[in-house]
Amino acid sequence: MFLSPIAAQAARLLQELGVEQHMLSGGELAAYSPIDGTQLARLRAHTADDIAAMADRAQQAFIVWRTVPAPKRGELVRLFGNVLRAHKPALGALVTLEAGKILQEGLGEVQEMIDICDFALGLSRQLYGLTMASERPGHGLRETWHPLGPVGVITAFNFPVAVFAWNAALALACGDSVIWKPSEKTPLTALATQALFAHACKEFGDAPGGLLQLVIGGREVGQALANHSLLPLVSATGSTRMGREIAPLLAKRLARALLELGGNNGMILCPSADLDLAVRAILFAAAGTAGQRCTSLRRLFVHEAIYGNVLERLKRAYASIPVGNPLEEGTLVGPLIDRAAYQSMQAALQQAKEAGGAVHGGERVLADRYPDAYYVRPALVEMPQQTELVRHETFAPILYVMRHRDLEQAVRLHNDVPQGLASSVFTTDLREAEFFCSAAGSDCGIVNVNAGPSGAEIGGAFGGEKETGGGRESGSDAWKAYMRRITSTINYSSELPLAQGIVFSAD
């Protein structure tokens, strides 16, 4: 059978990563590469009916895993991190083939997995609870964190493996089992990750089967996960539309939702900004990953005193940014994920023009070389004001540029969108920097100074407010979402005093 070079490379990588050949053909779900639109595999998809058996298996695994001491659970996560280290080049390249991000970013994504494994390993010895002073004599009061149960993890195409790892590394260290539904656009990197995890389990020795199960499929399997009573938590990363479908299902059965949804991330440039740094940060945040990060920069507010200068510099930088095959060295912007993404980008640019916007770039390129793939020049759009279009997240490399008079006005505009994920200010004025980070400043979950809104490290909690969904994944104390807290009162006296001094006695 003839395989295109991209498909042949994917087949080689999948084999190297331990994915069995028979899983890659004969199914109804086609996996494509956005690099040239070539079909990479056809996978068998699960249906909603498969979820019940998987949930039972996850529950069995959980019952065993929850009693394994946490530092030993951390050992499995450590081994997984080491397997990822050994396979970083192959998995990173597969991320590039399947999601279209440049190789540097594919490798960076695997590094993010390794980093969170290290973090979770340390955490496995630090699942700390508090002890409180009891008001009753001879009593102790304390809290303890226990494993929660099987966790559902739904992830998006744009970070096909890192976001899974944020959730899974923490969940596994915390004593939970995981059922993972990757985007139907990126099932191959998920299969490879599962194979690498199986490798780590083998080295570990006695991990229960079913600690990590993969669900391949679309919307209906995601909904079935949200509906299943054995899953006390579902963590979902993706569009606000997806979150609006999942959240009510969880609310209905009073389960926990950990949501990381759309962003509409802004940057404010103040007159004192270091513009060399700012332009580089803008390029990475707005054009990098072809604008397909949930943290991508989409709105830029430039002080009127520096507007002309900034715009000139940006136009120059945008005109020369290398767009092309993400496997090739030197490329900084790869393809959009698919035709639908291209169409929604073009529709947004059309609307921007109709609303009086001046559009620079944004056109399709390389169509001759890649007729079935969608490469675009990143677009810079000067907008007279923040219209409804600008307030809406379009998952593409479009940067809307607007003017502001002073920081307070800029922050007001910045916050006047439904989303609240990531934000940034460029200033060398301490007062402005601190104001932006203050209670009256940015209303986002991520608030950066002299650094773009994207590219967060794993050590901090990741997520945002408003329509972004309020969840926090990754570092800091995000682990608490994957555990249940018990509060224990221990009476070591021979009396039975009641709290609040209540007397309740028959004699």
- Choice from 32, 65, 145, 159 touching ligand UN1 (CB under 6 A): 159
Nearer to ligand UN1, 71 or 460 (CB): 460
394 binds ligand UN1 (CB under 6 A): no
- For helices 187-204 and 5-16, the axis angle rounded to 10 degrees is 20
Which stretch in 64-72, 158-166, 314-322, 371-379 sits in contact with ligand UN1 by CB under 6 A? 158-166
Q: Considering only CA atoms, which of 183, 178, 235 is closest in space to residue 209?
A: 178
- Nearest distance from C-beta of residue 138 to ligand UN1, angstroms: 50
What secondary structure does DSSP assign to 254-319, as a single string? T-EEEEE----EEEEE-TT--HHHHHHHHIIIIIGGGG-STT-EEEEEEETTTHHHHHHHHHHHHH
- Nearest distance from C-beta of residue 474 to ligand UN1, angstroms: 8
From 117, 174, 270, 294, active-site residue: 294
Nearer to ligand UN1, 227 or 419 (CB): 419
- Nearest distance from C-beta of residue 53 to ligand UN1, angstroms: 30
161 binds ligand UN1 (CB under 6 A): no
- Nearest distance from C-beta of residue 389 to ligand UN1, angstroms: 21
Applying CB under 6 A, the site for ligand UN1 has a residue count of 11
Alpha carbon distances (Å) from 340 to 75, 121, 345: 42, 40, 9
424 binds ligand UN1 (CB under 6 A): no
Site for ligand UN1 in 100-119 (CB under 6 A): 112
From 75, 109, 184, 260, active-site residue: 260
Nearer to ligand UN1, 232 or 266 (CB): 266
- Nearest distance from C-beta of residue 456 to ligand UN1, angstroms: 3
Alpha-carbon span 289 to 292, nearest angstrom: 5
HSE-CB at 283 with a 13 A cutoff on CA atoms is 21
- Choice from 183, 419, 424, 454 touching ligand UN1 (CB under 6 A): 454
Q: What secondary structure letter does DSSP report for 207?
A: P
Nearer to ligand UN1, 213 or 295 (CB): 295
Alpha-carbon span 150 to 234, nearest angstrom: 9
- Choice from 94, 127, 221, 456 touching ligand UN1 (CB under 6 A): 456
Alpha-carbon span 296 to 292, nearest angstrom: 7
201 catalytically annotated? no
Alpha-carbon span 338 to 326, nearest angstrom: 15
Nearer to ligand UN1, 115 or 176 (CB): 115
Residue 493's Cα: distance from chain center in Å? Answer: 50
Alpha carbon distances (Å) from 343 to 30, 337, 350, 372, 396: 21, 11, 11, 13, 10
- Nearest distance from C-beta of residue 161 to ligand UN1, angstroms: 11
217 binds ligand UN1 (CB under 6 A): no
Q: What secondary structure letter does DSSP report for 446?
A: E
Alpha-carbon span 273 to 407, nearest angstrom: 12
Which stretch in 52-60, 132-140, 155-163, 201-209 sits in contact with ligand UN1 by CB under 6 A? 155-163
163 binds ligand UN1 (CB under 6 A): yes
| String marking each residue 278-317 x if it binds ligand UN1 according to CB under 6 A | ---------------xxx----------------------
The bridge status of strand 39-43 relative to strand 29-32 is: antiparallel
Nearer to ligand UN1, 24 or 258 (CB): 258
260 catalytically annotated? yes
- Nearest distance from C-beta of residue 134 to ligand UN1, angstroms: 43
Nearer to ligand UN1, 217 or 291 (CB): 291
Alpha-carbon span 453 to 281, nearest angstrom: 9
- Nearest distance from C-beta of residue 457 to ligand UN1, angstroms: 7
Alpha carbon distances (Å) from 177 to 55, 109, 169, 372, 421: 10, 23, 10, 39, 28
Q: Considering only CA atoms, which of 258, 166, 255, 176 is closest in space to residue 472?
A: 258
Locate 246 and state its tokens. Answer: 């999942």
Share in percent of the chain as helix, strand, coil (round to 5)? 40, 20, 40
The footprint of ligand UN1 (CB under 6 A) covers: 112, 158-159, 163, 237, 293-295, 454-456
Q: Which residues are catalytic?
A: 260, 294
